[in-house]
């Protein structure tokens, strides 16, 4: 199983900026998790946990980012584009295989 990304949002930053800053890391981690989930027949996974402190309290909210099986095809299609953008070509053939597999699976289920 790939390692879940653990991040903490500081008070000077917002979630959107943090996600943009870490886009490369997110792209590779999601791709690894998608391949792992499909190879192991896992229906959902959490790939990142972001701790968000409350400004006036001593409390922290934990935001979990994940993916469910019905979203895998879309995530793979977006993921391969992101990997190419970051020149992370190593995972691309594996993602392409899973895209083709899920497209066939989708067509078969449509005809049932």
- In this predicted model, what pLDDT tens digit does every residue of 46-98 receive, in sequence order? 999 999 888 777 888 899 999 999 999 999 999 999 999 999 999 999 999 99
- Place 6 in a pLDDT band, splitting at 50, 70 and 90: very high
Continuous segment of H or E residues that includes residue 63 = strand 60-68
pLDDT of the residue at 112: 66
10 exposure class (CB count in 10 Å sphere: 0-12, 13-18, 19+): exposed
C-alpha span between 84 and 10 (Å, rounded): 30
Q: 103 in helix, strand or coil?
A: helix
Q: 35 in helix, strand or coil?
A: helix
Contacts of 31 (CB under 8 A, 6+ apart): 79, 80, 82, 83, 88, 91, 95
Range 33-50 average pLDDT: 97
- In this predicted model, what pLDDT tens digit does every residue of 87-104 receive, in sequence order? 999 999 999 999 999 999
């Amino acid at each position: 199983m790939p390692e879940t990304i653990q991040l903490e949002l500081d008070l000077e930053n917002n979630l959107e900026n943090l996600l943009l800053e870490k886009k490369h890391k997110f792209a590779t981690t999601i791709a690894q998790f998608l391949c792992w989930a499909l190879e192991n027949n896992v229906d959902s996974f959490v790939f990142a946990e972001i701790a968000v402190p409350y400004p006036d309290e001593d409390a922290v909210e934990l935001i979990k980012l994940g993916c469910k099986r019905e979203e895998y095809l879309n995530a793979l299609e977006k993921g391969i584009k992101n990997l190419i953008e970051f020149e992370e070509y190593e995972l691309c053939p594996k993602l392409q295989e899973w895209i083709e597999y899920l497209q066939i699976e989708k067509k078969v289920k449509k005809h049932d």
